[in-house]
């Protein structure tokens, strides 16, 4: 049942993001450019192989193509970050796509291997300018901050899933044309490779046209304090320095960067030693392929299940925890004596890496301000290239120095392959830097990292206690049912706190601020947020830390639905205010009282219908956390339904109430 609900929730979340037209169009653009990236890898390799007569140079064809695409990330990613934060992101992306398309066409027309590598290097430079602009613009196209994670999931699936298959399939289709038509000729393979390169260029031209004509939203900024004019902006070098200072001075970004270094270092070690490690398992090419299949399968599962882990652990803690988890499982990979154990551990490394990667992207998109987002994305892209390059080059050197050694274990000689200690070193780096990242990013440091890891695996909630919210359209319903639920749970022997009624405090605060009702909707929203911030800080968090169950009526969802139904405020503004007021504390269980519109208890049936519809949409988007209870009967009948649904879910939470509480 829970698994089915989770799949429904995931599908609903992804559909809600794809329903946003600008994002959907950008997703199509991502598809075209990603297909071009993967197609270029094969097309350029095939073209350079046909251009070079030397067998030795032909053997290096793929490596040279990859290297000339990797170097720009080291040199130009920071430049792309500054451009993304300084200039119109849509124009940056259009110019880069036009340049990429032109460079690929020039490769086909000039036909020189030297120009092929120079142009490929320049294409990589354009990509490093294009990626920060695209990634930093995505959050501005969405309706709510919580959609960033789903958008990142869709982007990764497109880039590393659908586009990969399409790019490789398109190249196979182009390369197979001569066989289908029984064509022959000495330079036929050269012409086929040239056609593939030209098609690649046309893909980028198409992307440029779509961005220029169909995605004006990419030029928008999320911040209300947009930069005035170019003359008022700091210079290029000053913005670059500002980005470095921001990363160094902000604990969240500093921890993110440190954690990424650990993750990429471990990944580079695994990639560089995979071939020899497969041989140490007494396997050959098939074992090497199985290891890569296992790690990519783990990556896919990790990216798919990251939202479920995020419901158990806050993003800021989950990031460091999963990097530490990747280091621990990599240690087990290094010590694995058999192929099947190695495959299982490698898959777990991939799973942890997938969760960490998606979580890191979500943190950048949802918690880094728009003015600094481009430079933060560029910094991560640059680190990815530098650390992967360094680890991939350094690991083979260490393996060559260490070589195979024979050690004595309890008097028995044992041969130890050099890849094992190198992997252990990569695992140690990941664990240490993951711990540092966890401490930098965690705003509640009293819980140890291993406890957080086990809690995420077991599915425990983010705190020791449990927060239950009772939501509904009318205050009469929620107030009565919250009191009755709290009393019923106490009767079961549970330690329960019935939190203060937020709306009562709202009216009291308004009276203190002014003798008249606050007319401005923003002022009313601020009052509601202030009251909830006070209740959460004084009552809810302390009770949760002590292991109590907290029951609170109209916690977040009902105020959000009412303000959204009656005001012109943007939903993302309200959610941002709620996140700030509550410290992103979300209920472990939300009871939604569903009363039909025809019941007539609400004042204004149209308003009641709008609020109830919004609440129902919230519940449908996250069915794992919501419990919808029909409230069409009297209070006693509704209370019985609530108790019958809630009590079985709390069986594991039952505890004896201390005598002092009684």
**Strand-strand pairing, 412-416 and 405-409:** antiparallel
478 shares a domain with 445: no
Provide Rg for the chain, Cα atoms: 28
Rounded to the nearest 10 degrees, how much is the dihedral formed by the CA atoms of 270, 274, 277, 282? 150
Tell whether 421 is covered by a domain.
yes
189 shares a domain with 150: yes
Tell whether 392 is covered by a domain.
yes
Tell whether 505 is covered by a domain.
yes
User: pLDDT at position 236, please?
Assistant: 65
> Do 465 and 650 touch, CB atoms closer than 8 A?
no
Q: Which has the closest alpha carbon to 30: 119, 125, 138, 191?
A: 138
Please give the structure tokens belonging to residue 480: 């009565």
Rounded to the nearest 10 degrees, how much is the dihedral formed by the CA atoms of 100, 52, 57, 113? -30
d(CA 200, CA 180): 22
| pLDDT tens digits along 320-362 | 889 999 999 999 998 888 888 988 998 898 888 888 888 888 8
* Domain-terminating residue out of 159, 188, 219: 219
User: pLDDT at position 598, please?
Assistant: 54
423 shares a domain with 296: yes
User: pLDDT at position 654, please?
Assistant: 45
Please give the structure tokens belonging to residue 3: 């698994």
Ranges of residues in the chain whose predicted pLDDT is under 70:
1-10, 52-64, 66, 70, 73-75, 77, 146, 177-189, 221-236, 284-285, 311-312, 406-415, 442-464, 500-521, 566-573, 576, 596-605, 620-624, 650-662
d(CA 403, CA 419): 8
572 shares a domain with 495: yes
Residue 449: φ, ψ to 5°: -65, -40
555: domain CATH number is 3.40.50.300
208 shares a domain with 93: yes
Task: Give, to the nearest 10 degrees, the angle between helix 163-175 and helix 188-214.
Answer: 140
d(CA 562, CA 433): 44
Beta bridge partners of 475: none
Please give the structure tokens belonging to residue 462: 């983010």
What is the domain count for the chain?
3
* Domain-terminating residue out of 219, 234, 269: 219
Beta bridge partners of 414: 407
Q: Which residue range(s) make up the domain with 559? A: 466-653
497 shares a domain with 613: yes
User: pLDDT at position 7, please?
Assistant: 42
Tell whether 233 is covered by a domain.
no
Q: What is the pTM of this model?
A: 0.64
Q: How far is CA 551 from the centre of its chain?
A: 31
516 shares a domain with 435: no
Tell whether 277 is covered by a domain.
yes
Residue 416: φ, ψ to 5°: -110, 120
> Do 277 and 423 touch, CB atoms closer than 8 A?
yes
200: domain CATH number is 1.20.1250.20
> Do 544 and 587 touch, CB atoms closer than 8 A?
no
d(CA 421, CA 31): 40
143 shares a domain with 121: yes
Tell whether 231 is covered by a domain.
no
> Do 437 and 258 touch, CB atoms closer than 8 A?
yes
* Domain-terminating residue out of 460, 488, 513: 460
User: pLDDT at position 659, please?
Assistant: 34
Tell whether 224 is covered by a domain.
no
């Amino acid at each position: 049942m829970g698994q089915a609900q989770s799949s429904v929730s995931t599908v609903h979340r992804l559909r809600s993001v794809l329903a946003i037209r600008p994002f959907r169009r950008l997703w199509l653009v991502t598809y075209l450019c990603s297909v071009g990236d993967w197609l270029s890898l094969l097309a350029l390799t095939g073209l350079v192989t046909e251009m070079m007569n030397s067998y030795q140079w032909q053997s290096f064809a793929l490596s040279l193509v990859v290297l000339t695409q990797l170097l720009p990330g080291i040199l130009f990613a920071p430049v792309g970050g500054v451009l993304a934060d300084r200039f119109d992101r849509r124009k940056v992306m259009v110019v880069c796509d036009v340049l990429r398309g032109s460079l690929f066409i020039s490769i086909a027309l000039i036909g020189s291997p030297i120009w092929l590598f120079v142009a490929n290097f320049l294409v990589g430079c354009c990509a490093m300018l294009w990626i920060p602009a695209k990634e930093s613009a995505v959050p501005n196209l969405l309706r709510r901050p919580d959609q960033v994670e789903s958008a990142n999931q869709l982007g990764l699936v497109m880039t590393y899933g659908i586009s990969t298959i399409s790019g490789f399939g398109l190249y196979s289709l182009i390369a197979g044309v001569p066989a289908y038509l029984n064509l022959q000729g000495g330079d036929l393979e050269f012409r086929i490779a040239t056609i593939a390169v030209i098609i690649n260029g046309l893909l980028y031209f198409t992307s440029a046209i779509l961005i220029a004509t169909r995605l004006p939203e990419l030029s928008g900024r999320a911040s209300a304090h947009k930069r005035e004019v170019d003359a008022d902006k700091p210079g290029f070098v000053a913005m670059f320095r500002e980005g470095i200072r921001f990363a160094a001075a902000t604990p969240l970004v500093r921890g993110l960067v440190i954690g990424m270094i650990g993750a990429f270092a471990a990944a580079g070690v695994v990639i560089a030693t995979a071939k020899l490690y497969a041989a140490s398992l007494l396997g050959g090419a098939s074992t090497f392929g199985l290891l890569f299949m296992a790690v990519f399968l783990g990556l896919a599962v990790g990216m798919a299940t990251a939202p479920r882990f995020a419901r158990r652990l806050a993003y800021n803690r989950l990031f460091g925890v999963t990097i530490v988890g990747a280091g621990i499982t990599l240690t087990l990979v290094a010590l694995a004596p058999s192929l099947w154990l190695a495959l299982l551990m490698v898959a777990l490394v991939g799973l942890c890496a997938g969760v960490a990667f998606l979580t890191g992207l979500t943190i950048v998109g949802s918690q880094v301000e728009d003015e600094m987002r481009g430079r933060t994305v560029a910094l991560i892209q640059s680190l990815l290239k530098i650390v992967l390059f360094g680890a991939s080059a350094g690991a083979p050197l260490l393996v060559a120095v260490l070589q195979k050694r024979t050690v004595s274990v309890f008097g028995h000689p044992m041969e130890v392959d050099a890849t094992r200690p190198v992997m252990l070193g990569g695992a140690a780096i990941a664990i240490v830097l993951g711990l540092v990242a966890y401490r930098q990013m965690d705003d509640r440091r009293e819980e140890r990292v291993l406890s957080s890891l086990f809690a995420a695996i077991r599915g425990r909630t983010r705190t020791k206690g449990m927060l239950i919210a009772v939501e509904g359209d009318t205050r009469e319903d929620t107030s009565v049912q919250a009191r009755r639920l709290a009393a019923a749970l106490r009767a079961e022997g549970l330690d329960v706190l019935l939190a203060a009624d937020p709306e009562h405090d709202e009216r009291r605060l308004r009276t203190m601020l002014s003798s008249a009702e606050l007319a401005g909707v923003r002022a009313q929203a601020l009052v509601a947020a202030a009251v909830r911030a006070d209740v959460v800080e004084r009552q809810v968090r302390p009770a949760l830390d002590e292991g109590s169950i907290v029951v609170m009526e109209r916690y977040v969802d009902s105020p959000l639905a009412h303000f959204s139904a009656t005001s012109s405020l943007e939903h993302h503004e309200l959610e941002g205010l709620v996140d700030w007021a509550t410290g992103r504390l979300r209920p472990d269980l939300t009871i939604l009282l569903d009363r039909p519109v025809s019941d007539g208890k609400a004042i204004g049936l149209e308003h009641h219908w709008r609020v109830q519809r919004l609440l129902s949409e919230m519940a449908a988007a996250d069915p794992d956390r919501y419990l919808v209870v029909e409230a069409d009967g009297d209070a006693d009948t509704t209370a019985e339904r609530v108790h019958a649904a809630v009590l079985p879910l709390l069986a594991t939470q039952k505890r004896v109430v201390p005598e002092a509480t009684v």
